[in-house]
Amino acid sequence: MFKNRLYIIENKTSLHVGSGDANFGIIDKQIQRDAITGYPTIHSSSLKGAIKEYCTYKHNIEDSKNFISYIFGDEDNSGKVRFIDSHLLSIPMRSDLNPYCHCVSPKSIGQLLDFADTFGLELKNRKDLEKFASSIALDILVANGTPTIEDEQAKTSSGYDFSALEELVGSPVALVPNTTYDELLKDLPVIARNQLENGESKNLFYEEVLPRKSKFFTVISEPNYLNKADETKLQNAFERFSGYLTDNDTIHIGANASIGYGICTFKEV
């Protein structure tokens, strides 16, 4: 029914994709989070809107007047491409031996494996990833050394092939226990912002952000049940769409583009 493509999204600058929920705590504007895991997420509607804006900018309408409506839909018809929520795969955390480590958890790797099963995707080094997902270690594990990561002492482990993670999220990488990971994700950076009117402060508010170099995974699906009349035309549109996503340009996702938030890249896995 669908050809599914797996993408890794990396935010090159701080990212704020707002939840839009009313909040009566200290943080006025919180980021979107998954309802089950509590991990940061990018809802499919936010992702689709950002990608549509980017493709509209990239596409020369003289090449194909119907490209945007084929992919994203219009007032009369729904789009042909299916967008799925993006889920957190890794987040950078401060370390004493490196500026940061790309940190994953058994739960975040488990979600990736679950997506692969759901959408019929083959993952390189799957057996190694399954081992990370089933880890019950109580310590942060790394391939070399004993760095301190966010005030937690990590331990070296030779029982895992960390290169399998490095291919996905980069190096150095650390496996963080689920409970520790959950706690760290509750304490993301918060930035104070000030609303000005004619140079006068009107409203001080606090905004939660995801640090740069975090990585999400998502699946974008293209239908393979096209009728013959549309097949060639739409297949060309799908290839063009995939090319736009993975070219050298960056895509803006979320709020505050004018101050440099949300600059992201896509990589197909």
Residue 25 confidence (pLDDT): 62
Task: Note whether 216 and 88 are within 8 A (CB).
Answer: yes
Mean pLDDT of the chain: 90
Report which residue type is found at 178.
Answer: N
Q: What is the pLDDT of residues 87-145, one digit of tens each?
A: 999 999 999 999 999 999 999 999 999 999 999 999 999 999 999 999 999 999 999 99
Going by C-alpha positions, the residue among 76, 82, 57 that lies closest to residue 220 is 82
Residues forming a β-bridge with 194:
204
> 178-185 and 106-118 helices cross at what angle (nearest 10)?
100
Residue 77 confidence (pLDDT): 84
Is residue 230 predicted with pLDDT exceeding 70? no
Is residue 149 predicted with pLDDT exceeding 90? yes
Task: Note whether 46 and 249 are within 8 A (CB).
Answer: no
Share of the chain above pLDDT 70, in %: 91
Could you tell me the pTM of the whole model? Answer: 0.91
Q: Structure tokens of 21?
A: 């929920």
Spatial distance between the Cα atoms of 139 and 231, rounded to a whole number of angstroms: 52
Average pLDDT over residues 196-208: 76
| SS (HEC) of the chain | CEEEEEEEEEECCCECCECCCCCCCCCCECECECCCCCCEEECHHHHHHHHHHHHHHHCCCCCCCCHHHHHHECCCCECCCEECCEEEEEEEEEECCCCEEEEECHHHHHHHHHHHHHCCCCCCCHHHHHHHHCCCCCCCEECCCCCEECCEECEECCCCCCHHHHHHHCCCEEECCHHHHHHHHCCCCEEEEEEEECCEEEEEEEEECECCCCEEEEEEEEECCCCHHHHHHHHHHHHHHHHHHCCCCCEECCCCHHHCCCEEEEEEC
Residues forming a β-bridge with 189:
none
Q: Structure tokens of 151?
A: 């005030």
Task: Note whether 237 and 71 are within 8 A (CB).
Answer: yes
24 burial via Cβ count (<10 Å: 0-12, 13-18, 19+)? exposed
Residue 210 confidence (pLDDT): 96
Task: Note whether 156 and 46 are within 8 A (CB).
Answer: no
Q: Give the domain ranges of the chain.
A: 1-16+44-84+212-269, 90-187
Average pLDDT over residues 201-211: 85
Is residue 22 predicted with pLDDT exceeding 60? no
Is residue 26 predicted with pLDDT exceeding 90? no
Spatial distance between the Cα atoms of 253 and 49, rounded to a whole number of angstroms: 8
Average pLDDT over residues 169-186: 97
Average pLDDT over residues 186-210: 82
